[in-house]
Amino acid sequence: MHDRVSGRPSTHAALAFYDDQHPPAGDFLADVLDGFSRTPKQLTPVYFYDAKGSAIFDEITALPEYYVTRTELGILDQIGSELSALAGPGAVVIEPGSGSSVKIRKLLDALSVPAAYVGLDISGEHLESACQEIAADYPDLQVGAICADFTQGLDLKHLTLESGRRIIFFPGSTIGNFEPEGARELLSGFRKAMRPGDAVLIGADRVKNADRLVAAYDDKAGVTARFNLNLIDRINDELGGTIDASALRHKAIWNAEKARIEMHLIAIRDLHFTVSGREFELREGESIHTENSHKFTPESFTSLAKSVGFDVLQAWSDPADLFTLHWLEPAAKA
């Protein structure tokens, strides 16, 4: 995480902090070269979310096949008074991976006089735009935007924040994008950044019918395919790549053994390409593994949370048990 945050006067009553230092391009290049050097080839999904990718993902959330967003929003509508009671007045909401502002607005509207909101995301342009809109609509709220890779841990000591209870808001089942050990490391990083009395409100998608899961990640309109292929466009545009995107096809696969949806780009013919001068090849039928989305049972998520020192104090699901929001607090010391 960047440790330089520049204060800029806001046009609203809220005080806005912005970090103008975007994640270094070298990280993107190093990760792509490393991923393409592996067998099978793989890319990390953190780089999906440039401005264009973030906009395409917003399209995905409105698709009829993609139940995750509307289901989670429905849960938030139902539990607003409970969240207000749990958080108390003057809460400070921190959102790693800040995306669409719809969910955070529902949370802020539910809370009793929230004091501050801080969004963190690797896509600086998308993040700053969203936070400026929140600052405009919530003039009494301290609003911050930090362009950073939250997977490297949360360090908020350099920010001047109100003293209310801090709520780390991590919706959308983003936790499912991480391998099990990575998910533990992420939650452990959250845990280390928390003070006594702080909490995590986190979404997790549920294990369910495989056909429904695959359809959610391979929609009929091809929007998810565009989202997946946008990562190739980024590599070509930003890293000097020569990958022929027309030779790749999006595919979603349910891996029952690992309880996850996998997204792949499958080569329909042999490909030879370069990235920043490095040569690579992809044979017909080979894939680039671009994302995992792990799904959880109540038992598997509770086990994950407990493994890094959290207690699940409350959990809320929709009537069909498609999705669950969990309220986590640091476990009491024995």
pLDDT in tens, 98-107: 766 889 999 9
Question: Using 50, 70 and 90 to split pLDDT, how confident is the model at 72?
Answer: very high
| 228-255 mean pLDDT | 98
Q: What is the rounded CA–CA span in Å between residue 283 and residue 267? A: 7
Give the model's pLDDT for residue 323.
98
Give the model's pLDDT for residue 9.
34
From 14-18, 91-95, 192-196, 325-329, the region with the lowest mean pLDDT: 14-18
Q: What is the rounded CA–CA span in Å between residue 208 and residue 265? A: 24
Give the model's pLDDT for residue 99.
63
Give the model's pLDDT for residue 153.
81
* 217: Cα within 13 Å, side-chain hemisphere: 24
Q: What is the rounded CA–CA span in Å between residue 19 and residue 261? A: 34
Report the amino acid identity of residue 225. A
Question: Using 50, 70 and 90 to split pLDDT, how confident is the model at 150?
Answer: confident
Instruction: Give the whole-number percent of the chain exceeding pLDDT 70.
Output: 90
Give the model's pLDDT for residue 148.
79
Give the model's pLDDT for residue 17.
53
CA 145-150-156 angle, 5° bins? 60
Is pLDDT at 21 greater than 50 in this prediction? no
More confident site: 149 or 125? 149
Residues 183/184/186/191 CA torsion (nearest 10 deg): 140
263, 226 Cβ separation under 8 angstroms: no
Phi-psi region of 145 (alpha: psi -120 to 50; beta: other; left: phi over 0): beta
| 263-281 mean pLDDT | 98
| 151-169 mean pLDDT | 82
- Full 3-state SS string of 107-169: HHHHCCCCCEEEEEECCHHHHHHHHHHHHHHCCCCEEEEEECCHHHCCCCCCCCCCCCCEEEE
Give the model's pLDDT for residue 100.
64
Is pLDDT at 10 greater than 60 in this prediction? no
CA 34 to chain CA mean position, Å: 22
Give the model's pLDDT for residue 151.
85
From 7-16, 150-159, 161-170, 242-251, the region with the lowest mean pLDDT: 7-16
Is pLDDT at 224 greater than 80 in this prediction? yes
Q: Tell me: the pLDDT tens digits for 303-313?
A: 999 999 999 99
Give the model's pLDDT for residue 130.
84
Is pLDDT at 23 greater than 70 in this prediction? no
